[in-house]
C-alpha cells in the first residue's frame, strides 16, 4: 500500500500532533485492513478495496457547493462546511452554539481516539488522518430552534471527516450530517455525540455519496441521565456503504431511538451495524431498520443489544424489515442479544420479504399503479424518518430521495 502509506506519512508529519497520529497509523499498519474471514466484515466486498488507489490530501480541494448542498444551506439555521475532512467554514454565530476545531485527539468517551478505536482499522485511519475534529457544542439549557447542517463534501481520493457534538445539560438541538461527493474515493467518517443529563438531540445522517465511493462510517452516542438521542441514518449512496451506529446508555432513564433506512441499487452493498449498550437502569433503546434492495444490490443488518448487570428495567427493542425488489437482490439480518440482567424487556424481530400487500392494495384501490404504489411505500420508509426536521428542510430531503427512487426499478416481476 505504498501510495496510500506515503501520502499518509507526509500528512501525519505535517500535523502538530504527529506523534499521537503516528501511533494510530502504526497500529493500523500492524492490524491491516480487515478481511471477510473476520465475522464483522464478512459481507463487505473487501476484495474490491485497493487502498493504494487512494491518497491522503494535505489540504481541502476547492469546489463549489452542489445544487442540493446550496439548497440545504439556504434552508438551514447554521451550516458548517467540511471539505475532504477539513472544516472550511464554521458557519454564522448563534447564541449558545460554538463550533471549533479540536486537535487533541480525544474521544468523547474520555479516552483518546487511539484507545477508543484500537480494534477498528478504519476508525484508526480516521484517528491518524482526520485533519481535526469539528466540535459542535450546545450550551446547557439552550434549545436551538434552527437545525444545524454539517455539509461533508468529499472530492479527494481519501477523506476522514470527524465530528463531535456535545449537548450540555438540558440542551436540545437538531443536526443533519450530510455526505456527498466521493467519486472513486474512500470516505471514513467518525462521529461522536455526548448528551449530558436531560439533553435531547435529533440527528439525521444523510449519506448521498457517489455510487463509486467506499463509505465506512462509525457513530457513537454517549447518553447521560434522561438524555434522548433520536437518530435517523439514511444510506442512499456509495458502492460499499458501511454504517456502524452505537449508543451507550450510561445514565438512568436515557433513551435512544435509532432508525436506519437504505435503498440499494446496481451492485451496492449496504452494511448496517448497531450496538446499543445499556449500562444504567431504566434505559430504553428502540431500533428500526427498514430498507430495500433492487437490482443486484445487497444489504446486511447486524444489531447487538448488550445489557449490563444492574441495568434494571431496561427496555430494548430491535426491528428489521428488508424488502427485496429483484430476484438477484439479497438481504441478511443478524440480530444479537447479550443480556446480563434479568429484569429487562427485550425484543427483536426481523423479516425479509415483499412490501405489505394490504398497504399496496389500499393505494392501488385508489387508482395508483403497482409501480407507483411500491415507490410511494418505499419512499415512505425515508419520509417517516424525516419528521424531526422542520418542514422546509424535510421537503427538500424528501424530493431528493424521490429523485433517487425515480431511477430505481422497484418492480421485479
Partner 1 sequence: MTSTLVIEGLRVDVAGREVLKGFDLTMRSGEVHAIMGPNGSGKSTLAHALTGHPGYQVTAGSVTIDGVELLTTTPTERARQGLLLILQQPFEIPGVRAYDLLGAAGADPSTLRARMLDEAKRIELAPELLERFVNVDLSGGERKRAEMVQLAVLRPKFAVLDEIDSGLDVDALDAVARRLRDATTEWDCGVLAITHFRRLLLELTPTMIHVVSDGRVVATGGPELAVTLERDGYEVFRGAGVPETR
Q: Interface residues with partner 1 (CB under 8 A)?
A: 357-359, 361-370, 372-373, 376-377, 379-384, 391
CB of 302 vs partner 1, minimal distance in Å:
24
Q: How far apart are the first and last CA of the chain?
A: 44
Nearer to partner 1, 74 or 359 (CB): 359
- In whole angstroms, give the CA distance from residue 138 to residue 120: 29
Residue with Cβ nearer partner 1 (53 or 360): 360
Tell me the closest approach of the beta carbon of residue 394 to partner 1, in angstroms. 10
Between residues 93 and 406, which has the closer beta carbon with respect to partner 1? 406
The answer to whether the beta carbons of residues 281 and 315 sit under 8 Å apart is no
Q: Is 178 exposed, middle or buried (0-12, 13-18, 19+ CB in 10 A)?
A: buried
| Closer of 6 and 409 to partner 1 (Cβ) | 409
Closest among 261, 260, 274 to 305, alpha carbons compared: 274
For cell 484517528, the residue is: 127
Q: State the minimum distance, in angstroms, from the CB of residue 329 to partner 1.
A: 21
Q: How far is the CB of 201 from partner 1 (least distance, A)?
A: 23
Q: Are 184 and 214 in contact (CB under 8 A)?
A: no
- Does residue 392 contact residue 75 with C-beta atoms inside 8 Å? yes
What is the C-alpha radius of gyration for the chain, rounded to an integer number of angstroms? Answer: 20
CB of 360 to partner 1, least distance (A): 9
Residue 179 and residue 189 in contact, taking contact as beta carbons nearer than 8 Å: yes
∠ Cα 149 155 158 (to 5°): 100
The minimum distance between CB 376 and partner 1, in angstroms, equals 5
Q: For residues 27 and 376, which CB has a smaller minimum distance to partner 1 in the complex? A: 376
- Closest to partner 1 by CB, 119 or 362: 362
Amino acid at each position: 500500500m505504498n501510495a496510500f502509506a506515503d501520502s499518509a506519512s507526509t500528512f501525519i508529519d505535517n500535523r502538530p500532533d504527529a506523534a499521537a497520529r503516528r501511533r494510530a497509523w502504526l497500529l493500523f499498519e500492524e492490524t491491516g485492513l480487515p478481511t471477510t474471514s473476520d465475522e464483522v466484515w464478512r459481507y463487505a466486498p473487501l476484495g474490491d478495496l485497493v487502498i493504494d488507489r487512494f491518497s491522503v490530501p494535505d489540504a481541502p480541494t476547492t469546489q463549489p457547493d452542489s445544487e442540493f448542498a446550496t439548497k440545504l444551506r439556504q434552508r438551514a439555521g447554521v451550516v458548517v462546511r467540511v471539505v475532504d475532512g477539513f472544516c472550511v467554514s464554521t458557519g454564522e454565530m448563534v447564541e449558545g452554539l460554538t463550533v471549533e476545531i479540536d486537535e487533541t485527539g480525544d474521544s468523547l468517551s474520555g479516552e483518546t481516539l487511539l484507545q477508543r478505536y484500537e480494534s477498528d482499522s478504519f476508525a484508526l485511519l480516521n484517528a491518524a488522518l482526520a485533519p481535526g475534529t469539528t466540535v459542535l457544542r450546545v450550551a446547557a439549557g439552550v434549545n436551538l430552534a434552527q437545525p444545524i447542517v454539517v455539509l461533508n463534501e468529499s472530492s479527494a481520493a481519501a477523506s476522514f471527516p470527524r465530528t463531535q457534538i456535545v449537548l450540555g445539560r438540558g440542551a436540545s438541538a437538531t443536526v443533519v450530517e450530510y455526505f456527498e461527493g466521493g467519486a472513486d474515493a474512500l470516505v471514513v467518517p467518525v462521529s461522536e455525540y455526548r448528551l449530558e443529563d436531560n439533553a435531547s438531540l435529533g440527528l439525521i445522517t444523510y449519506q448521498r455519496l457517489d455510487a463509486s465511493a467506499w463509505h465506512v462510517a462509525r457513530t457513537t452516542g454517549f447518553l447521560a441521565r434522561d438524555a434522548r438521542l433520536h437518530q435517523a441514518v439514511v444510506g442512499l449512496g456509495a458502492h460499499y456503504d458501511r454504517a456502524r451506529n452505537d449508543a451507550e446508555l450510561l445514565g438512568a432513564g436515557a433513551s435512544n431511538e435509532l432508525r436506519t433506512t437504505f435503498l440499494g441499487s446496481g451492485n451496492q452493498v449496504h452494511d448496517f451495524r448497531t450496538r446499543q449498550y445499556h449500562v444504567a437502569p431504566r434505559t430504553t433503546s428502540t431500533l428500526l431498520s427498514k430498507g430495500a434492495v433492487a437490482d443486484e444490490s445487497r444489504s446486511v443488518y447486524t444489531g447487538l443489544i448488550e445489557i449490563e448487570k444492574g441495568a434494571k428495567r431496561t427496555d430494548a427493542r430491535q426491528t428489521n424489515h428488508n424488502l427485496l425488489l429483484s430476484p438477484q437482490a439479497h438481504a441478511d439480518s443478524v440480530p444479537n442479544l447479550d443480556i446480563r440482567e434479568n429484569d429487562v424487556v427485550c425484543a427483536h424481530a426481523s423479516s425479509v420479504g415483499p412490501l405489505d400487500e394490504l398497504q399496496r392494495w389500499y393505494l392501488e384501490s385508489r387508482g395508483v399503479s403497482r409501480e407507483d404504489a411500491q415507490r410511494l411505500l418505499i419512499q415512505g420508509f425515508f419520509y417517516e424518518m424525516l419528521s424531526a426536521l422542520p418542514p422546509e428542510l424535510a421537503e427538500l430531503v424528501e424530493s431528493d430521495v424521490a429523485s433517487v427512487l425515480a431511477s430505481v426499478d422497484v418492480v421485479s416481476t
